Each structure stands twice: as structure tokens, then as C-alpha cells.
Amino acid sequence: MSRLEEQLIEKLAEIEHNQWVEWSKDIASKEKLSTDRLARWKTFWIPYSQLSEKVKEQDRIWARKSLASLSDHAVFYQFSPRWCEEHDVWDCGVCFADQG
């Protein structure tokens, strides 16, 4: 695996974690969860960088699945971060070319 692919997987894993945190907090605010489940979830409501390698690997599994799915529909991708003026955020700069 190239350095570029490793960086992309790590960024996708971070996005996956952030998405899960938002989803789980939303569920926790609306549903009655067991005390044990809520306590377990709260231990993961931390930045991706603070997770253990074992937990990060669970997010990387989903990142690899996402990348594989995207790769099925793309000829190439490149990683070149750039500032997105429209959304006033850093954009990961992943570019896809249609195979068709």
C-alpha cells in the first residue's frame, strides 16, 4: 500500500469515527440506552487521535471498505488538500475520474 493510500485511509477512518460519534450522540439523546451501553459509548466520544490503535483499526476497516467501493468507480485518485472557499474549510482534495 502506498503512503498516499495509507494517508487517505487514515483520513477516511477519522471521518468514519466523527460520523459515528455524531450518530451515537444523537441516538443517545433520543433513545433509552442501557447504562452500560451509554457508558461504553461515552468512552469513544473522544477525538480520533486519542483512540487506541485497536479501536482505530475498527474505523480503518470501514475506511478500506469505502475506499474499495470508490475505487470500483474511479480510475485514479490523488490527495492534495486545498482550501474550499465555498464551504470555508479544508477540503481533502480527493479527485475521481469516471471509468465510463
Greatest alpha-carbon pair distance for the chain in Å reads 50
pLDDT exceeds 60 at position 95: no
pLDDT score, position 39? 97
Task: Name the pairing type of β-strands 89-91 and 82-84.
Answer: antiparallel
Sorting pLDDT into bands at 50, 70 and 90, what band is 66? confident
Identify any residues that bridge with 74 across adjacent strands, giving them in sequence order.
Answer: 98
- State the pLDDT confidence band at 46, using cuts at 50, 70 and 90: very high
Mean pLDDT, range 76-92, rounded to an integer: 58
CA distance between the termini of the chain: 26
pLDDT band at 83 (very low <50, low <70, confident <90, very high): low
What is the share, in percent, of the chain residues with pLDDT greater than 90?
56
52 has pLDDT over 60: yes
Model confidence pLDDT, tens digit, residues 2-36: 788 888 899 999 999 999 999 999 999 999 999 99
> H or E stretch including 59?
helix 53-71
